[in-house]
Structure 1
Amino acid sequence: MIPVQGYAGQTVAVLGLGRSGRATAAALQAGGAHPVVWDDSAVARDAAEQAGFDLRDLTKPRAFEGVSLLVVSPGIPHLYPTPNPVIAAAWDADVPVDNDIGLFFRSFATAEWEEFDTMPRVIAVTGSNGKSTTSALIHHILVENGRPAQLAGNIGRGVLDIEPAHDGEVVVLELSSYQTDLARSLTPDVAVFTNLSPDHLDRHGGPGGYFAAKRRLFAEGGPDRAIIGVDEVEGRYMANQLSEGPGDDRVIRISSGQKLTGEGWNVFARKGFLAEHRKGRQVGSIDLRAIAGLPGAHNHQNACAAYAACRTLGLGPKGIEAAMQSYPGLPHRSQVVAVKDGVTFVNDSKATNVDSAAKALAAFPKIRWICGGLQKEGGLDGLLPYLDHVSKAYVIGREAEGFARQLTGADVEVCGTMATAVAQAAADAAAGEVVLLAPAAASFDQYDSFERRGEDFIRCVTEAVG
């Protein structure tokens, strides 16, 4: 646990008692603060009370009297589409609002670090797609190369629930836009921006607000090294804003699909090969094609980001390549779950938006595609260029018929349920084809998370292939 510094003897309110909220309350208490907690859920409140925390109904008048800070969980909106009433009440009471990420960056460094030979480092990863894989891959590479490391944030443990840093340790954080948008302190040593595509637009008031939330990690965080995916215009803009000139190697540009030239520090992947260029010369390369845990161009971009992050810490290309070879991949992200009679079954349930689903479709030439769910804003037009990879689409979800009508030109079957879709796709598939779950939609019409959806896919595949 990371005890929160700066609030000893003070009352701090915590709104939201999920994983991060519970860890925050405990870390505040460990740092000498007096947390008072609240959640809309009676079950969550009862669990917190049984754990020894004091409840305070933050929706009541005068709830913020004597409160020094309000800490909110990432899922609670603070601005768009409308501010949560408790947050608005804190504003009215002149009580600062923060989240666990801000408290982590204020509290991570301690006096004990003065005795360390090598200062601990924080690598923070954000972006629309690939940040979980990139974060997990960085952590895997570090561990495989004998570097002490912890993985936290939007993946794994809550940031305040990790252990205090050891000499030379690296903490890898996956940070969502919900987390970077509100944190009052953001000071990573290395910051990674994978890419940007439309997502969470209602929460951020549109694409500009969404990008601004991501950009805070760099513009306000002031990392020593910034690793920027430049395959979208926003990444190119941000790399230019952060760089002082062509040879500024504090900014490392990464790409999947285009060769990056110039005098700066560039890492890119083309046709399955990763290349590192510095000062106009190639200094490292990796053949990514045979790495089972990183299939497709989108994962090659993740590999570029992880490679660049680890190079900033002094790891050599050969050590990074060896670690990538043993990377097992993450559940629900291009996860191969079965191979039967030449047909491969791939679980990419985390492909919850059009851009991530398009990248999954681009990764395989012949696909039996299981898609559908709670559709996000913007329609499905971004998928149409990839439908030539699709032998047939099998649509699930409560709005399956409406989803199917948007897949112009594709052979489509409305299945409704996962069991029906998997059984039909497995029966239709021929050797050399991939049965791919890449929903291009949220899961909440039929499942409570993308993880549950992926688990149901795996169960149905197991039943179908025996």
Structure 2
Amino acid sequence: MIPVRGVEGQTVLILGLGRSGLTAARAVAAGGGTPLCWDDGAAGRQRAEEEGFTLHDPTRPGALDAVSLLVTSPGIPHLYPAPHKAIAAALRAGVPVDNDIGLFFRSLATGDWDRFDVAPKVVAVTGSNGKSTTSALIAHLLASAGREVQLAGNIGRGVLDIDPPGDGGVVVLELSSYQTDLARALTPDIAVFTNLSPDHLDRHAGLGGYFAAKRRLFAEGGPDRAVIGVDEDEGLFLAGQLSVGPADDRVIRVSSGQKLGGPGWSVSARKGFLSEMRKGRQTASIDLRGVRGLPGAHNHQNACAAYAAVRALGLAPRTIEAGLHSFSGLPHRSQLIAEAAGVTFVNDSKATNVDSAAKALQAFQRIRWICGGLEKEGGLSALHPHFGSVLKAYVIGREAEHFALELGDGVESEICGSMEVAVARATAEATSGDTVLLAPAAASFDQYDNFEQRGEDFTARVRAALNT
């Protein structure tokens, strides 16, 4: 655990008692503070009481009089579309509001670090798509090279729940826009921006607010190195803001699909080959086409970002290449489930928006596509240019008929409704060379609690169909 620093003798209110909230309460207590806990749900309050924490309703008159800090869970709105009433009350009372990410960054470094030969490092990864895979891949590459590493944040353990890093240790954090938007301290040694596409727009009052939340990771603390995906205008803009000139190698530009030039430091993937360029010369090249855990151009972008981050930490190209080949991928993210009679089954349940689904459709040929669910804003028109590799769509979800209409005439579709029917129909019709791909292009909440549950259902149905 990382004890929270600067709270000794203070009363800290913890709002939201899921994984990050309860961990924050424990870490505040470990730092000598007095945590008071609240959750709008009875189950959360019960968990806190079972651990011996004191419940404290922050919306009651005078409830914040003795509170020095409010720590909120990332899922609770603090500004848009409207602040939670407890956060609004804290802001009116002048009580600072933070989250566990802010507490982590202000508490990580201790006097013990003076005895280390190499100070620990923090790599923080944000972006719209690929940040989980990129974070996990960075951690995997470091572990494969024998480095001490911990993976936390929006993936793995809560940030305050990890062990204090040792001599030369690295902490890899995946950070969502909800986490970067509010954290009062953001000081990673290396910050990574994968890409940007519209998401969570209601929470950030539009695309500009969403980008601003991501940008805080780079603007607040000034990382020693910034790895920036420049395939969108926002990434180009961010790289330009952080760099003092074309040869500034504190910014590593990353791209998938275009070769980057110039005198600076860049890592790009084109036609399946990763190239590292420094000072106008190619310094390394890796063939990504045989890396089974990273299929498709979108995963090649993830590979470039992870490669750049670990190169900045001193790993050699050949060491990185070996680590890439041993990476098996993450569950529900272009995850290879099975191969039978020449048919490949891939679980990309994490493709919950149109942009991520489009990348999945570009990663494979001869696709039997299982899609559908709770459609997000903007419709499905952006998917239409990527239907060329789709043999047929098998549509699930409570509104499968509407979803199928949104697909239009560009692809043959069958309304299946349930995952069971979709997997059975796709498996029955698939022939050698086909890929049965779950890439829903929609949220899961109409039929499942989360995308993980949806992916697990797909996996179970595939294995049942194949009798494996």
TM-score normalised by structure 1 residue count: 0.99
| 2:438 matches 1:437 | yes
Give, as a single letter, the amino acid of the residue that structure 2 aligns with 1:66. Answer: A
Give, as a single letter, the amino acid of the residue that structure 2 aligns with 1:51. Answer: E
Structure 1 residue 221 displacement after superposition: 2.3
| Alpha-carbon distance between aligned partners in 1 of 2:40 and 2:323, rounded to the nearest angstrom | 44
Matches within 5 A, 1:392-411: 392-408=392-408, 409-411=410-412
Give, as a single letter, the amino acid of the residue that structure 1 aligns with 2:464. Answer: E
| Alpha-carbon distance between aligned partners in 2 of 1:61 and 1:425, rounded to the nearest angstrom | 59
Give, as a single letter, the amino acid of the residue that structure 2 aligns with 1:104. Answer: F
Q: Partner of 1:233 in structure 2? A: 233
The number of equivalent residue pairs is 466
| Alpha-carbon distance between aligned partners in 2 of 1:60 and 1:343, rounded to the nearest angstrom | 60
Q: Partner of 2:41 in structure 1? A: 41
Q: Partner of 1:424 in structure 2? A: 425
Structure 1 residue 47 displacement after superposition: 1.3
Secondary structure of the residue aligned to 1:67 is coil
Give, as a single letter, the amino acid of the residue that structure 2 aligns with 1:189. Answer: D
Structure 1 residue 365 displacement after superposition: 1.4
| 2:255 matches 1:255 | yes
Q: Partner of 1:14 in structure 2? A: 14
Secondary structure of the residue aligned to 1:405 is helix
Secondary structure of the residue aligned to 1:124 is strand
Identity level (%): 71
Give, as a single letter, the amino acid of the residue that structure 1 aligns with 2:462. Answer: V
Give, as a single letter, the amino acid of the residue that structure 2 aligns with 1:436. Answer: L
Q: Partner of 1:205 in structure 2? A: 205
| Alpha-carbon distance between aligned partners in 1 of 2:47 and 2:184, rounded to the nearest angstrom | 28
Structure 1 residue 213 displacement after superposition: 0.3
Q: Partner of 2:103 in structure 1? A: 103
Secondary structure of the residue aligned to 2:139 is helix
| Alpha-carbon distance between aligned partners in 1 of 2:400 and 2:216, rounded to the nearest angstrom | 37
| Alpha-carbon distance between aligned partners in 2 of 1:189 and 1:16, rounded to the nearest angstrom | 29
| Alpha-carbon distance between aligned partners in 1 of 2:403 and 2:79, rounded to the nearest angstrom | 30
| Alpha-carbon distance between aligned partners in 2 of 1:334 and 1:165, rounded to the nearest angstrom | 31
Give, as a single letter, the amino acid of the residue that structure 1 aligns with 2:38. Answer: W
| Alpha-carbon distance between aligned partners in 2 of 1:417 and 1:54, rounded to the nearest angstrom | 44
Q: Partner of 1:116 in structure 2? A: 116
Q: Partner of 2:307 in structure 1? A: 307
Give, as a single letter, the amino acid of the residue that structure 2 aligns with 1:147. Answer: R
Deviations 1:15-42 (CA, angstroms, capped at 9, x unpaired): 0000100100000000000000001111
| Alpha-carbon distance between aligned partners in 2 of 1:213 and 1:391, rounded to the nearest angstrom | 39
Structure 1 residue 59 displacement after superposition: 2.3
Long gaps (5+) in structure 1: none
Task: Write out the 4+ residue segments of structure 1 that deviate beyond 3 Å after TM superposition.
Answer: none
TM-score normalised by structure 2 residue count: 0.99
Secondary structure of the residue aligned to 2:355 is helix
| Alpha-carbon distance between aligned partners in 2 of 1:210 and 1:417, rounded to the nearest angstrom | 33
Q: Partner of 1:446 in structure 2? A: 447
Secondary structure of the residue aligned to 2:407 is coil
Q: Partner of 1:272 in structure 2? A: 272
RMSD over aligned Cα, in angstroms? Answer: 0.6
Q: Partner of 1:170 in structure 2? A: 170
Of residues 64-73 and 406-415 in structure 1, the stretch that sits farther from structure 2 once superposed is 406-415
| Alpha-carbon distance between aligned partners in 1 of 2:133 and 2:43, rounded to the nearest angstrom | 33
Matches within 5 A, 1:353-372: 353-372=353-372
Give, as a single letter, the amino acid of the residue that structure 1 aligns with 2:166. Answer: H
Give, as a single letter, the amino acid of the residue that structure 1 aligns with 2:367. Answer: I
| Alpha-carbon distance between aligned partners in 2 of 1:401 and 1:284, rounded to the nearest angstrom | 49
Q: Partner of 1:27 in structure 2? A: 27
Secondary structure of the residue aligned to 1:152 is strand
Deviations 1:151-173 (CA, angstroms, capped at 9, x unpaired): 00000000000001101000000
Structure 1 residue 106 displacement after superposition: 0.2
| Alpha-carbon distance between aligned partners in 1 of 2:366 and 2:214, rounded to the nearest angstrom | 35
| Alpha-carbon distance between aligned partners in 1 of 2:85 and 2:416, rounded to the nearest angstrom | 41
Q: Partner of 1:187 in structure 2? A: 187
Secondary structure of the residue aligned to 2:290 is coil
Structure 1 residue 399 displacement after superposition: 1.3
Q: Partner of 1:386 in structure 2? A: 386
Deviations 1:431-452 (CA, angstroms, capped at 9, x unpaired): 1010000001111111111000
Secondary structure of the residue aligned to 1:406 is helix
Give, as a single letter, the amino acid of the residue that structure 2 aligns with 1:382. Answer: A
| 2:138 matches 1:138 | yes
